[in-house]
Amino acid sequence: MNFQNLLARRTQRMHVNAIREILKVASQPGMISLAGGIPAPESFPLELIAELNGRVLATYAADALQYGLTEGFPPLREALAARLSTRGIPVGAEEVLITSGSQGVLDGIGKTLISPRDQIAVESPTYLGALQAFTPYEPEYLPLVCDDDGLIPDSLEEVLKHRAVKFVYLVPNFQNPTGRTLSMPRRRTVAKIIQNYGTLLVEDDPYGDLRYEGAALPSLKSLAPENVIYIGTLSKVFAPGLRLGYCVAPLPIQNWLVLVKQGVDLHTGTYGQALAAEYIAGGYLDRHLPRIIDLYRPRKAAIIDALAHAFPDDFRWSRPEGGMFVWVEGPEGMDMLRIYTHAVENGVAYVPGQFFFVDQDQGRHTLRLNFTMADGPTLERAIALLANVMRRHG
Amino acid sequence: MNFQNLLARRTQRMHVNAIREILKVASQPGMISLAGGIPAPESFPLELIAELNGRVLATYAADALQYGLTEGFPPLREALAARLSTRGIPVGAEEVLITSGSQGVLDGIGKTLISPRDQIAVESPTYLGALQAFTPYEPEYLPLVCDDDGLIPDSLEEVLKHRAVKFVYLVPNFQNPTGRTLSMPRRRTVAKIIQNYGTLLVEDDPYGDLRYEGAALPSLKSLAPENVIYIGTLSKVFAPGLRLGYCVAPLPIQNWLVLVKQGVDLHTGTYGQALAAEYIAGGYLDRHLPRIIDLYRPRKAAIIDALAHAFPDDFRWSRPEGGMFVWVEGPEGMDMLRIYTHAVENGVAYVPGQFFFVDQDQGRHTLRLNFTMADGPTLERAIALLANVMRRHG
């Protein structure tokens, strides 16, 4: 059989995930990987799972194993609505849609909204998983200019003035890959711009709870409720292996997302939703979250200190107040994809920054470092090794 | 904001699930619903879950809560490969792809293969969930003619001779909605036809394990391995709430399905996969399955007996050897959607058969009955009530 002929046009546009190929070496024994984007396993409330299992079986019995509503398991929707309401997003349970990870929301949004050649505005650089979700639906991307305070509002307005944008996609808190946070004045301005232009904005907030310093900023959803789809996840504050994301969308869009989700996976796993409902409603999340923050805060400090101590003077890096990533820029002209090979030979892996740009000719001199998967001394050693590689091969 | 303008073309083709609306009354208190398509909660191995939870935490610890491979949790892939190999599908673990329910495979196949206006051949009537998965990718459907022995091979050959078919979609065992099984001679003929025409066939087998009488028949996958994507699920033999499906596809297609799945949900929930791995590899499935069959067999007998006893002479119905459904045909000219209202008034719900046809002008005189959710005496009462409704309003 000729299988290539069977592929849909959209599939032919998809490429083997280059990062995935590159990162295969990152998991070799002895490698210090700053390339990952996953939570430390010691951040999981593993010791609580047996107790939560007991509560789930006692409370829900067979209902925890049965088919469920596409919209989500009602006790989890209630628990999330209550939590969102204390964070400036006052919603009822019926406004929360549970999805299979935040990836599930991103795919649903792409499937619901994107026709071929639709224009989607994204931060430059942006989260790769969002591009993977949207690209099969054949959009065109409009990159937005960002600096240390996140998206530059003028860049957004310029795009909205001249182009018919289906939606804007942003990660305002501790962005992946840069670790940058959209400043408070800019949040107000961005909210006003999307309201003026009647533009839909997708606010992806996987890291908002992981703040190690400074004060929490209001979500764009709270500033422009009608214009924003807010996306959250339990992957960073509970367990990514349960694949639990959620969103709060304007009602007409939520209705379409539900219809689309019926065809994609019917509903998100009930048992995992029941575990999460007990985790949140039982107060476990609020008790456990400070432990995750206490685990990551010193790691963030360690990597920033190590960069300042070891890296050459002509490098710059972001100063994240939370999340999982630091963004490093070398001098223009450096090629971090080429240097990756040398880094790996010296036992340290990272992600070359170009992969996070819609136009991969950009960002060749940048790289993303994760600081949640290694402890302080290991991070210090890794950054010292990496600094040597940069000096030798830069 | 004008949300309607934001919708993708594909979304505008999707309609609120009419069955879902109709079935809202089916869950009213006091209603006997033969409309469902879900396993009886008493079929779940609820009493084993605590033990399986213990095994999962002891064996996998934090790995059961962590991000996993898109392809699936290795111990579950191994357990399913071993099980498939004893059933005429000799595969290694690396050939089994785990998905978020069998709905997840169907969506992945649609997304990977269907370009707008591609032709998909389906049994008439066919499984509604497959249509829901495929339709957003904008195919055209070619209905295939079926009788009590399932798909009529000549009908398939006629279509393949004249049309460029992307793939054929079949449910050969105890089909939803008809309960019919593709006979052994026809399996051989269908396998030969798809080999001759170099056609891809999607074999969806959710009910194969639920056989109450007769001998198991070989899968089409075992007869034409190169041409078939085989789809299985743990929803009917373990717990649908875990959303665990799987497929065995020709390798080039599997590779594309994995790439597509990365964008859709990254991977299927790890914890549920770990539970299922222990359930299968620990021998629990093989010990529990006979209990499910013993639960459903008398229900199947009860509904068939009741139909023979109560229904008018000019009605016909299928004689399923397994699965969950009986298909009833009234005399031509009857309108089971109209009669549905009367049935519900009399306390019994079913699914009007027209919804399972690509062309809903067909099948107006048909209906689908589920027999797994009610016990024998209840089924007997429901069929008696329904027979009266048919006599009064037919």
In chain A, residues with a C-beta closer than 8 Å to the C-beta of B324 are: none
Instruction: Summarize the confidence of residues A324-334 as an average pLDDT.
Output: 97
Q: Is A24 on the interface with B (CB under 8 A)?
A: no
Instruction: Summarize the confidence of residues B8-29 as an average pLDDT.
Output: 77
- CA–CA distance, B287 with B284 (Å, rounded to integer): 5
B241 closest CB neighbour out of A44, A64, A200: A64
- Copy the structure tokens of residue A268: 């998100």
Return the closest-CA partner of residue B60 out of B278, B286, B282: B278
CATH number among 3.40.640.10, 3.20.20.140, 3.20.20.370, 3.40.50.1820, domain B63-284: 3.40.640.10
Amino acid at B167: F
Q: Give start-end residues of each CATH 3.40.640.10 domain in chain A.
A: 63-283
Separation in Å, CA of A266 to nearest CA in chain B: 7
**Does pLDDT of B159 surpass 70?**
yes
* Token pair 């960069």: residue: A307
Averaged pLDDT score across all residues of chain B: 95
Cβ pairs A/B, distance under 8 A: 237
Separation in Å, CA of B388 to nearest CA in chain A: 32
Q: Is A46 on the interface with B (CB under 8 A)?
A: yes
Q: Is B216 on the interface with A (CB under 8 A)?
A: no
pLDDT higher at A194 or A29: A194
pLDDT digits (tens, 9 = 90+) for A170-188: 999 999 999 999 999 999 9
Contact assignment for A14 to B260 by CB distance below 8 Å: yes
pLDDT digits (tens, 9 = 90+) for A39-68: 999 999 999 999 999 999 999 999 999 999
pLDDT digits (tens, 9 = 90+) for B123-132: 999 999 999 9
The set of residues, in sequence order, having a beta carbon less than 8 Å from that of B215 and lying 6+ positions away, is none
Contact assignment for A8 to B260 by CB distance below 8 Å: no
DSSP string, B164-182: -EEEEEE--SS-TTT----
pLDDT digits (tens, 9 = 90+) for A127-159: 999 999 999 999 999 999 999 999 999 999 999
Q: Is B168 on the interface with A (CB under 8 A)?
A: no
* Token pair 């067999």: residue: B297
Nearest CA in chain B to A262: B132
Nearest CA in chain B to A104: B265
- CA–CA distance, B271 with B21 (Å, rounded to integer): 33
Residue B17: its pLDDT value, please? 66
Nearest CA in chain A to B264: A107
Return the closest-CA partner of residue A352 out of A177, A186, A184: A177
Q: What is the pTM of this model?
A: 0.96
Nearest CA in chain B to A15: B259
What's the Cα-to-Cα distance from B35 to each of A331, B347, B359, rounded to whole Å?
A: 66, 12, 21
**Does pLDDT of B16 surpass 70?**
no
Contact assignment for B7 to A113 by CB distance below 8 Å: yes
DSSP-derived secondary structure letter, B115 = P
DSSP element (H, E) containing A228: strand A228-233
- Listed by number, the residues of chain A in 241-260 with a beta carbon closer than 8 Å to a beta carbon of chain B are 241-243, 250, 252-253, 256, 259-260
Question: In a 10 Å sphere around its CB, with 0-12 CB exposed, 13-18 middle and 19+ buried, how is residue B25 labelled?
Answer: middle
Contact assignment for A198 to B11 by CB distance below 8 Å: no
Nearest CA in chain B to A69: B241
Contact assignment for A269 to B266 by CB distance below 8 Å: no
- CA–CA distance, B271 with B133 (Å, rounded to integer): 25
Contact assignment for B6 to A62 by CB distance below 8 Å: no
Residue A17: its pLDDT value, please? 66
pLDDT digits (tens, 9 = 90+) for A188-221: 999 999 999 999 999 999 999 999 999 999 999 9
**Does pLDDT of B29 surpass 90?**
no
Nearest CA in chain A to B195: A1
Q: Is B1 on the interface with A (CB under 8 A)?
A: yes
pLDDT band at A14 (very low <50, low <70, confident <90, very high): confident
pLDDT band at B210 (very low <50, low <70, confident <90, very high): very high
Interface predicted TM-score of the whole assembly (ipTM), two decimals = 0.96
Residue A163: its pLDDT value, please? 97
pLDDT digits (tens, 9 = 90+) for B38-96: 999 999 999 999 999 999 999 999 999 999 999 999 999 999 999 999 999 999 999 99
User: Mutating which of B256, B257, B258, B295 best tests the A interface, going by the most A Cβ atoms within 10 A?
Assistant: B256
pLDDT digits (tens, 9 = 90+) for B102-112: 999 999 999 99
pLDDT band at A16 (very low <50, low <70, confident <90, very high): low
CATH class of B10-44+287-393: alpha beta
**Does pLDDT of A20 surpass 80?**
no
Residue A315: its pLDDT value, please? 98
Separation in Å, CA of B324 to nearest CA in chain A: 15
Specify whether the CB–CB gap between B348 and B34 falls below 8 A: yes
pLDDT digits (tens, 9 = 90+) for B338-392: 999 999 999 999 999 999 999 878 999 999 999 999 999 999 999 999 999 999 9
- Listed by number, the residues of chain B in 83-112 with a beta carbon closer than 8 Å to a beta carbon of chain A are 100-101, 103-104, 107, 111-112
Return the closest-CA partner of residue A196 out of A224, A167, A155: A224
Contact assignment for B65 to A46 by CB distance below 8 Å: yes
Alpha helix segments (H runs only) across chain B: 9-12, 18-23, 46-60, 74-85, 101-113, 128-134, 153-162, 184-197, 220-223, 251-264, 270-281, 284-310, 336-345, 376-393
Say what percent of chain A tops pLDDT 70: 99
A262 closest CB neighbour out of B100, B132, B262: B132
What's the Cα-to-Cα distance from A385 to each of A31, A40, A309, A311, A355, rounded to whole Å?
A: 12, 22, 12, 10, 23
B262 closest CB neighbour out of A132, A263, A270: A132
Instruction: Summarize the confidence of residues A294-314 as an average pLDDT.
Output: 98
Specify whether the CB–CB gap between B346 and B385 falls below 8 A: yes
User: Mutating which of B100, B132, B270 best tests the A interface, going by the most A Cβ atoms within 10 A?
Assistant: B100
Architecture of domain A63-283: 3-Layer(aba) Sandwich (3.40)
User: Mutating which of B2, B16, B243, B246 best tests the A interface, going by the most A Cβ atoms within 10 A?
Assistant: B243
In chain B, residues with a C-beta closer than 8 Å to the C-beta of A8 are: 111-115, 118, 137
B3 closest CB neighbour out of A6, A44, A250: A250
CATH topology for A7-45+287-393? Answer: Aspartate Aminotransferase, domain 1 (3.90.1150)
- Copy the structure tokens of residue A387: 């600094």
pLDDT higher at A359 or A314: A314
Q: Give start-end residues of each CATH 3.90.1150.10 domain in chain B.
A: 10-44+287-393
Q: Give start-end residues of each CATH 3.40.640.10 domain in chain B.
A: 63-284
Contact assignment for A269 to B269 by CB distance below 8 Å: yes
Q: Are strands B32-33 and B146-147 parallel, antiparallel or unpaired?
A: unpaired
In chain A, residues with a C-beta closer than 8 Å to the C-beta of B206 are: none
